[in-house]
Structure 1
Amino acid sequence: MNGLETSIYEITRLFLVPVMLLILASLAYACFALGAFALEAWQRHRARYQSRLARWYEQHGGSSDDLELWIMKQLEWLRITSRSAPMLGLVATMIPMGPALLALTRNDAQGIGENMVVAFSSVIVALLSASITFFILTVRRRWLLQELRSIERAWEQA
C-alpha cells in the first residue's frame, strides 16, 4: 500500500471503537425506550394513561401545528436511532473487513475469525437496536396522532 492508502486505512481503524460505543449506546437507549414503551402500553391497556400531549396543551396552549411539533420532538430520538443504528452497524462491519482480508492474504485463519466476529456482532446489535426503536416509533406515533385527533375534535365541538 502507498502512503495515502495506509493513511486512510489507519484513519478508518480509529473510528471502530467510537462506532462500537455508539452502537452500544443505541442498544442501551433501545432497551430503556422499550421499558418505557411497555409501561405506557400497560397503562393504556388499564385505562390509567394520562396523555402527556393533552397535559402539554393544557399548560402551553397553541395550535395543531404546535402540538405536531411537540409530537415530533417526542419521537426524535427514536427516529434518529432507528435510522442511524443500521448505518453504524454497516460501518462497524466494514472496518474489520480490511484487517480480515489482510489476514486472508497471510493465511491467518485466527485473524480472519477475530475480525469477522467483531464485524457480524456489531451489525447484529445495531440491527436489533434499530428494530426495537422503529417498532416503538411506529406505535407511539400512532398513539400520539390519535391523541392529537381527540384534542382537535374537542376544538371542533367547542
Structure 2
Amino acid sequence: MNIIELTMAEIASLFLMPVLVILAVMFAYAFYELGRFGFEWLMRAMGRKKEQPLNRFWAKNPQADQQEVELQLLRQLEPLRLVSRIAPMLGLVATMIPMGPALMAVAGGDFQGVANQLTIAFAAVIIALLAASMTFMTLSVRRRWLLEELKALVKAKAVQRPAKSELTAA
C-alpha cells in the first residue's frame, strides 16, 4: 500500500470509536422516545387532551398562528427523523471500518482477530438498525397524531375566532 492508502485507512480507523459512541447515544435516545411514545399512547387512550403537545403549545402561546404551530410540530419530529435516517448510515460506517482489519487478520491467519473485528461490525449495524426502527415507528405514528391534533386545533380556533369576512362585513 502506498502512503495515501495507509493514511486513509488510519483516518477511517479514527472514526470507529466516535461512531460507536454516537450509535450508543442514538440507541439510548430511541429507547427514551419509545417510552415517551408508550406514555403518550396511554394518555391518548385515556382521552387526556391536555397531554397533547400541540394543545400545550397553543395554550402557552395563544397568540401563535397556524404556521407557528406547524413549526412546533416539525421541531418535535425532527430528532426522530434524524435518528431514523442517520443511524443506518452510521451503522454502515461502523460495519465497514472493522472490515479492513478483519481482512488483514484473515490474510495473516489470525482467526481470533477476524472474530473480534466482525463482532464489532455486526453489533454496530444491529444497534443502528434497532435504533432506526424504533425511531421510525415512533416518528410515523407521532406524525399522524400531531397532524390530527393540528387539524382539530385549527378547526377549533377557526370557530373561536371570527373569519375576516365577518369582521369586514360589520
Give the TM bin, normalised by the shorter chain.
over 0.9
| Equivalent in 60, 64, 69 of residue 71 of structure 2 | 69
Match of 1:88 in 2: 90
1:57 aligns with 2:58: yes
For residue 47 of structure 1, give the secondary structure of its aligned residue in structure 2: coil
Runs of 5+ unmatched residues, structure 2: 161-170
Aligned residue pairs, count: 158
CA distance in 2, matches of 1:123, 1:22: 13
Match of 1:78 in 2: 80
Identical pairs, percent: 46
Structure-to-structure mapping, 1:117-156, within 5 angstroms: 117-156=119-158
CA distance in 1, matches of 2:135, 2:37: 10
Post-superposition Cα deviations, 1:96-136, rounded to whole Å, max 9, x if no partner, equal: 00001111111221111111110000000000000000000
How far the C-alpha of 1:49 sits from its partner, in A, is 4.3
1:4 aligns with 2:4: yes
CA distance in 1, matches of 2:64, 2:92: 42
User: Runs of 4 or more off by more than 4 Å in structure 1?
Assistant: none
CA distance in 2, matches of 1:121, 1:49: 41
Runs of 5+ unmatched residues, structure 1: none
CA contact (8 A) 1:40 1:49 kept: no
User: What value does the CA root-mean-square deviation take over the aligned residues?
Assistant: 1.1
Match of 2:19 in 1: 19
CA contact (8 A) 2:49 2:55 kept: no
> AA paired with 1:129?
A
